[in-house]
Amino acid sequence: MDNRQIQNTDPQIPAHPPALVQLEAVSKRFREGGTERVVLDRVTARINPGEIVALVGRSGSGKSTLLNLICGIEAPDAGRILVEGRRLDTLNERSRTLYRRRGVGFIYQFFNLIPTLTVAENVALPLELNGVPARERRRRVAARLAAVGLADRADAFPDRLSGGEQQRVAVARALAHEPPLLLADEPTGNLDAETGAQVMALLQRLVRHQGRTLVLVTHSPEVAVMADHVWELVDGRLQARGEA
């Protein structure tokens, strides 16, 4: 991907803000039987604070793998991954786990709510893991549920909610610990078109209002059009949608 930008001639003004996420010649391969398959091939890109980026491409093209690399679940075979200027690819597994716990919010296609916990308890979980005191947890949970329109469902269990309501709980949980980076893997893939549009409009509004950065995987053109940038993975390479 060509990331060249017009250079600013004023030395007092930086050419662009520091990247929140920076990928430098990142490669990832998987062995399937006796064959090695290249999933990502020297991918280079930057994601700036406050941006919404949509990753598109055919199934198996490496979109979810790229999300896993950005959050440190997987490590690249080559290249560098920097988040807020910190090398992620050189961290050990424990350090990457702490990075995810504190700096990343996740939204999944199938919600991934814990069925034995109430709505409020699900949203509070990342706060508990980060050691937030009980009084502050209650305050944040109430604020996040109010923001997604579910203040009256705090004591309900996930199986009592509709799919759209469960995904709104997942959005609240992802934002609860105020991470700079949100990652979403097919966030509307398990919802009907109307409900999916409502959830995405809510997520977009909250991301913009709170100044978060969102990277999402989607097959939906309607979802992708909400993004600032649409990147397509083709044969292991990342390119802006529409570029050759």
Domain count, the chain: 1
**Which residues share a beta bridge with 233?**
238
Is 166 among the domain residues?
Answer: yes
What is the Cα–Cα distance from 231 to 43, expressed in whole angstroms? 11
What is the Cα–Cα distance from 78 to 24, expressed in whole angstroms? 9
Is 39 among the domain residues?
Answer: no
Task: Give the residue-averaged pLDDT of 203-211.
Answer: 89
Is 11 among the domain residues?
Answer: no
> What pTM was computed for the model?
0.85
Is 45 among the domain residues?
Answer: no
Is 172 among the domain residues?
Answer: yes
- Predicted confidence at residue 37, as pLDDT, reads 86
Task: Give the residue-averaged pLDDT of 165-179.
Answer: 93
Is 207 among the domain residues?
Answer: yes
- Beta-carbon neighbour count of residue 48 at 10 Å? 16
Is 232 among the domain residues?
Answer: yes
CATH code where residue 180 lies = 3.40.50.300
Instruction: Provide the percentage of residues in the chain whose pLDDT is more than 90.
Output: 63
Is 72 among the domain residues?
Answer: yes
Higher pLDDT: 38 or 141? It is 141
| Whether pLDDT at 11 is above 60 | no
| Whether pLDDT at 1 is above 60 | no
By residue range, what is the domain housing residue 179? Answer: 50-77+92-240
Between β-strands 52-56 and 229-234, what pairing exists: parallel, antiparallel or unpaired? parallel
| Whether pLDDT at 7 is above 60 | no
